[in-house]
């Protein structure tokens, strides 16, 4: 009788440890998923930022060409560009 009681308690202990291990594994998986999601969001932000910068550079080139074609003085064109850059910095890039 003592042997079967000891076996029963051992089985209960093993089941309890197994369930605790499953909970720990689930928690670890959840944390890993959250970290992966944060990394993907950061990469997306960087990609959008890089794309916006490249787009702004192309716009700047087009504006400079247009200013030259219209005969607008270089100082005025640079001032317009600086004002536009300040406005873009205030707005920021949202993702």
How far apart CA 12 and CA 67 sit, in angstroms, is 82
- Whether pTM > 0.85 for this model: the answer is no
Residues 26-79: pLDDT tens digits? 888 888 889 999 999 999 999 999 999 999 999 988 888 887 777 766 666 677
Residue-level pLDDT at 95? 46
Q: What is the separation of C-alpha 65 from the centre of its chain, rounded to a whole number of angstroms? A: 35
What is the largest distance, in Å, between two alpha-carbon atoms of the chain? 104
The total number of residues written for the chain in this structure: 95
Q: What is the pLDDT of residues 66-92, one digit of tens each?
A: 877 777 666 666 777 778 777 777 766
More confident residue, 83 or 19: 83
Residue 93's SS3 state is coil
| Angstrom distances, CA of residue 3 to CA of 7, 8, 11, 46 | 6, 9, 12, 64
Which carries the bigger pLDDT value, residue 15 or residue 32?
A: 32
């Amino acid at each position: 009788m003592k042997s079967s009681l000891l076996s029963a308690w051992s089985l209960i202990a093993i089941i309890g440890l197994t369930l605790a291990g499953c909970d720990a594994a689930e928690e670890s998986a959840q944390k890993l998923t959250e970290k992966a999601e944060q990394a993907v969001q950061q990469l997306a932000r960087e990609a959008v930022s890089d794309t916006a910068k490249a787009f702004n550079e192309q716009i700047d080139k087009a504006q400079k060409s247009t200013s030259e074609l219209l005969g607008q003085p270089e100082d005025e064109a640079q001032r317009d560009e600086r004002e536009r850059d300040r406005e873009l910095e205030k707005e920021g890039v949202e993702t």
